[in-house]
A and B are shown apart, each in its own frame.
Chain A
Amino acid sequence: MSIEDTSTPTSSSSRLQRYADWAVYAVFIVIILGAPMVIDDVFWLNRISKYLVFGMLGIAIALSWGYAGILNLGQGLFFGLGAYMTAMSLKLMSATSLQQGSDKPVPDFMLWNAEPGAVTDLCCINKGSFLWIPFQSQWFGMAMSIVIPLIVAFVLSSSIFRLRVSGVYVAIITLALVLLVRLLLIDAQPITNGFNGLTDLGWLTIGGFEFDPYMVETYYVVAISLTVVLLLGRWLVSTRAGLILQSTRDDPTRARYLGYDVAAYQIFFFTISAGIAGFAGLLYVVAAEFASPSFMDIGFSISMVVWAAVGGRNSLIGACIGAILINTVEATVSETEIFKEAWKLIIGGVFVLVVLYMPNGLAGIARDLLARFERRRKGAPAETAPKAAE
């Protein structure tokens, strides 16, 4: 990174800071799990569940950008892939797919464009429709939401990092790739419904229970998923591998000379980050009931980076909260038309300011305040205070 960083998540190793860190996690989890007890408006709950999904995207960005130093400007690719995989299954479960005059489900848009005389069956209604066959199983679609992003990210990052591509080139490659896939997706109209995306979806159904997006149970699915991802992510960056990853970010050459295969660490964490984005795509479809090529718009991928930057890219929970906050504020101001346009300018300006003046975002500010408090309490400069050998 060209921007001076003076602190990283794990550098704050004082006991107070560690407790404060865990306290933030605990409070956050209590709030998101407790929200339905305070908010009874199901429309707001549904909205919030979408923002929680964006919070999960914030975590994915922080993992690759903050911890691995890999700026992925195409995270929307993995989010979009994850969304489409689940949306395909839910589309086949939709009432509209079962009313096309066949005893097996067929998406309505396939019939609208079918050649005259084509058999109304996924096998052969058009050339690519057979790809939909396994998605008749909801579990297959959901599994693919994570597996496909993992595979794509693994193949992509293996070629990028083995060739030691880094910095801005990774950003350009990922950006170009999301654009390309978006075009292909729109182009494959017969099987993707092109621009219109997949709409009129059925509900996620587990053991006969239907997760209507406007039910508190669906909110809990998202909130619990976010909690699990947050804690798993936190564990991951606290492991030895997480520390080694940060070392490869700081100085890849030094890490190599210590015997680490730097590319392997980059590939692993890039791929995990993509898997999280894919999972977020799955949840988004469950809560929002559609998948659209707009998930792969460049603007959306860049927004994710802005959320993480504002919240603090060096902090998983910071980036997560940043995403939720920005989206909540945006939803509130977007009610009026004038603000809706102005919002883009505001958020652009905020991003520039954050990058220039607070590279560690809100999480960085919180950490600095705590460090200042600690120093005052001790009456000595905390950073150079000797630490007893353990």
Chain B
Amino acid sequence: MNEALTIDGLTVDFGGFKAVDGFTTVVQKGELRVILGPNGAGKTTLMDLVSGKTASTQGTVHLFGENITNRPEHIIARHGIGRKFQIPSVFRDLTVRQNLEVAASGEPGVFRNLRLHMAAEDRARVEDVIALTRLEPVLGTIAGELSHGQMQWLELGMLITQQAKVILLDEPTAGMTHAETFRTAEIINEMKGSHTILVVEHDMAFVRKIAERITVMHMGKLLAEGPMEKIETDPKVREAYLGSGGIH
């Protein structure tokens, strides 16, 4: 099975306004797909629909052939969707290590977790992610005290620890410094291949650094899809972006 995420005719109707409107795309296993689109195009809403935060009114979402449309968030997560939010979302009162340990639990049930120690393989996964995200110097720090960049990396690290099969990233470099953005691109490039990733991003320099295939959204609909070169020269895309200040 090579189709990781299959979105078919997905629509949400907010009282007459369709923030996502008949959106269809197929993301292959191991692919890194960038979603571009002007402000308000419906990119975040699309991620809300796929991850179960918002219920769709039409269409389906399949993950490796399994229908996950409108299931509760934690069930969708257990099927293998991991999500990073636009605003960093980590457990602010727990230490960095504890954040990763929470993400590492292979068992979601309460009773299965009534034990003091983690499974060896879960612990190994935590150590791998610490190395990848270079968080060892701050492992004992309360997550709420991290710098903005570190918090974003921690959240990325949690998705890897979680073993999400398909990872949704909403503007992972928003508010980052140049150096932090560069480091984030490195992390994402390292994740490429072993993870299927869907990333929403505005920063074109960053997109060029990581992109393979690009999907452009406009007014809730799919406007164009293809490799970077094709998208950049697409007249429809230029037009959509002209209306909102051009492609940045």
Q: Could you tell me which A residues sit within 8 Å of B by CB distance? A: 5-8, 10-11, 13-14, 235-236, 238-241, 243-244, 246-247, 249-251, 253-262, 264-265, 268, 383-387, 389
Contact = CB atoms under 8 A, between A and B. Distances in A.
Contacts of B193: none
Given A253-B73, A259-B162, A260-B74, 11 more contacts: A6-B93, A8-B142, A10-B95, A235-B116, A244-B105, A247-B99, A249-B93, A250-B91, A255-B91, A257-B73, A259-B74
B108 A260 contact: yes
A261 B166 CA distance: 20
Interface stretch (B24-32, B76-84, B204-212, B233-241): B76-84
B91 A239 contact: no
Contact of B89 (A236, A254, A265, A385): A254
A385 B113 contact: no
B89 A241 contact: no
A284 B118 CA distance: 38
Contacts of A246: 91, 93-94, 98
Contacts of A265: 110
Nearest to B79: A259
B55 interface: no
Given A255-B102, A264-B109, A264-B110, A8 B94 contact: yes
Contacts of A6: 93, 142, 144-145
A258 B116 contact: no
B108 A250 contact: no
Nearest to A314: B93
Given A7-B142, A238-B116, A384-B138, A257 B77 contact: yes
Contacts of B95: 10-11, 13
Residue among A241, A258, A261 facing the most chain B CB atoms (10 A cut-off): A258
Residue among B53, B117, B144 facing the most chain A CB atoms (10 A cut-off): B144
B115 A240 contact: yes
B93 A5 contact: yes
B140 A383 contact: yes
A240 B82 CA distance: 21
B243 interface: no
Contact of B90 (A14, A239, A251): A251
Contacts, number: 124
A387 B127 CA distance: 13
A382 B137 CA distance: 12
7 contacts: A239-B114, A243-B101, A250-B91, A256-B74, A258-B158, A261-B74, A383-B140
B58 interface: no
Contacts of B113: 239-241, 244
A244 B102 contact: yes
Looking at chain A's contact residues, is the secondary structure mostly helix, strand, loop, or mixed?
helix
A383 B141 CA distance: 6
A384 B137 contact: yes
B214 interface: no
A386 B51 contact: no
Contact of A389 (B110, B136, B141): B136
Contacts of B83: 257
Given A260-B108, A264-B110, A240 B116 contact: yes
Contacts of A249: 93
Contacts of B93: 5-8, 11, 246, 249-250
Given A5-B93, A256-B77, A268 B110 contact: yes
Contacts of B90: 251, 254
A259 B141 contact: no
B102 A386 contact: no
Contacts of A387: 136, 139-140
Given A257-B82, A258-B158, A10 B118 contact: no
B89 A240 contact: no
Nearest to A267: B110
Contacts of B114: 236, 239-241
A254 B82 CA distance: 10
Nearest to B106: A259
Contacts of B130: 389
A258 B110 contact: no
Interface in B194-215: none
A384 B91 contact: no
Contacts of A264: 109-110
B103 interface: yes
B192 interface: no
Contacts of B73: 253, 256-257
Given A13-B140, A250-B92, A265-B110, A243 B98 contact: yes
Interface in B55-98: 72-74, 77-78, 82-83, 85, 89-95, 97-98
Residue among A244, A257, A261 facing the most chain B CB atoms (10 A cut-off): A257
B136 A386 contact: yes
B93 to A, nearest CB: 5
